[in-house]
Amino acid sequence: MGRALLATAIAGLLLSGCGDKQKAIPEPDSRPVKLQAVSVGNNDTFRTFPATVEAGDKAVLAFRVSGLLETVDVNPGQRVTQGQKLASLKTDELELLVEQAQANYSLAYVQFKRNTELRKTNVVSELDYDQSKAALNQAKAALDKAKANLRYATLLAPYDGNLSLSLVENYEYVAAKEPVMHIQSEGLINVTFQLPEQLLARYQGKYDPRPIVSFDTIADKSFDAQFKEIDTEADAKTSSYKVTLSMARPEGYNLLPGMAGQVRIAIPRGTSGGVPERAIIREGEDTYVWRVDEQGNVHKVKVVLDDNRRVVEGLNDGDSIATSGVGELQEGQKVRAWVKERGL
C-alpha cells in the first residue's frame, strides 16, 4: 500500500513538472529605447491638429522688462488699435546697454576679421581663431538681446479692443511681467490646440505659420488666424504644449467656448534631425530604420537618406524612430521612450 502511494506521488510530481515546462515565460511589456523625431524633405509640411474655441475677451498686458514708467498714452474705456502705443518706460539705461553691446560687437568683429586674415598665413593659431569667432557670436547675441529689451520698453496693443483697466500711473516703477493694463478684444476669439514636443523647436519663435482654422459647426469654410502664445510647460499626460491662436469672430455664427474645430499650420523643416548612424540598418545597398508607431510598436522601414543622413523617402515628417538597440529589435515589438534615471 505504501509503495503504491509513493508511486502515485512521484507520478504526480513528474506530471506537474512537465506542465510547468509548457508554460510560456512572460516577456516584458516594452523595451526602453532612445527615440528621435525625423525631418523629411526640403520644404515646409502642413499638419492638422484638433482645436477648441476659448474665450478671448480680456488680456492682461505687462512689460517684459523692468523700469520707471514714463508715459501712459491711453485711458480706461478708450478704443485702441493693434500696434498702438499704450505706455512706455524710460529708456536711458536700456539705450546705454545697446550702445555698450554695439561697441563690444564692433570690437569682436574687428578682431575676428583680423584673425581670419592672419590665419591664412598661419600667424594666429586655430585656437585664437576659434576664440575670436566665439567672442563674435557672443557679442552678437548680447547686442540682439539689448535691442530686444529696448523694444520691450514700449507696450503695444496686441489687437483692436477697448482698454478696460489701467493699474499704473506715470513715474511708478514697474517690474517685468507686472500687470499694467487690461484690454478687452473687439470681436476676437481664441482657438487652442496641442503641439507635440518634437515639433515645438521648429515652431516656436522661428516661423510664422499663418494658421488656417475651421470649425465643426461651420461647414466648408475656413478662417485665417494669428499666432498668440505657446505655453512654456508641457501637458503632463500628453507631453504636448498648448498653442493659442487669435482670430476675428466670424460674422453670423455663434461660436462658443468649448466648440471643436481644426487648425492647419505649416511646419518648417528643422535645422537638425539627421538620422544617427547608430539608428541605421544596412542590408546590401538598402537602408532601414525602426519606425515607432503611435501604439509604441516598431516597424522596419526602408528609407532613402541624403548626404546629411536626412530622410528623403520612407517616413513622414515628425515620425519617431528608435536610435538605440536597433540590432536587437524585432518587427512589431513594443517599445517605450528611454528615460535617464537620476544619479546615472
Does domain 31-43+272-337 fall into CATH 2.60.120.10?
Answer: no
CATH class for the region spanning 45-57+186-267? mainly beta
pLDDT of residue 11: 52
Query: What distance lies between CA 254 and its chain's CA centroid?
Result: 32
Pairing mode of beta strands 85-89, 67-72: antiparallel
Rounded distance, CA 178 to CA 195, Å?
28
Angle between helices 92-120 and 126-151 (to 10 degrees): 160
Indicate the pLDDT class of residue 208, thresholds 50, 70 and 90: low
pLDDT of residue 26: 46
Indicate the pLDDT class of residue 197, thresholds 50, 70 and 90: confident
How does pLDDT run across 258-270, given as a tens digit for each residue?
A: 899 999 988 765 5
**pLDDT at residue 114 greater than cutoff 60:** yes
Question: How many Cβ atoms are within 10 Å of 323's Cβ, its own excluded?
Answer: 19
pLDDT of residue 188: 79
Q: Which of 331, 51, 82 is closest to 191 using CA atoms? A: 51
Indicate the pLDDT class of residue 252, thresholds 50, 70 and 90: confident
**pLDDT at residue 234 greater than cutoff 60:** yes
pLDDT of residue 343: 47
pLDDT of residue 287: 94
117-131, 248-262, 322-336: segment of lowest average pLDDT: 248-262
Q: Which of 322, 247, 234, 343 is closest to 280 using CA atoms? A: 322
How does pLDDT run across 146-167, given as a tens digit for each residue?
A: 999 999 999 999 988 878 788 8
**pLDDT at residue 216 greater than cutoff 80:** yes
Rounded distance, CA 41 to CA 43, Å?
6
Q: For the chain, where do the domains classified as CATH 1.10.287.470 start and end?
A: 92-151
Rounded distance, CA 324 to CA 328, Å?
9
Average pLDDT over residues 83-100: 96
How does pLDDT run across 270-325, given as a tens digit for each residue?
A: 555 578 889 999 999 999 999 999 899 999 999 998 776 777 788 887 788 999 99
Q: 325 or 1, which is more confident?
A: 325
Average pLDDT over residues 84-91: 95
- How high is the mean pLDDT of the chain? 83
Indicate the pLDDT class of residue 109, thresholds 50, 70 and 90: very high
Instruction: Specify the fold of 92-151.
Output: Helix Hairpins (1.10.287)
Q: For the chain, where do the domains classified as CATH 2.40.30.170 start and end?
A: 45-57+186-267
Write the secondary structure of 229-291 as one string of H (helix), E (strand) and C (coil). Answer: EECCCCCCCCCEEEEEEEEECCCCCCCCCCCEEEEEEEECCCCCCCCCHHHCEEECCEEEEEE
pLDDT of residue 192: 94
Q: For the chain, where do the domains classified as CATH 2.40.420.20 start and end?
A: 31-43+272-337
Q: For the chain, where do the domains classified as CATH 2.40.50.100 start and end?
A: 60-83+155-182
CATH code of domain 60-83+155-182? 2.40.50.100
Indicate the pTM of the whole model. 0.41
Rounded distance, CA 114 to CA 125, Å?
12
Indicate the pLDDT class of residue 232, thresholds 50, 70 and 90: confident
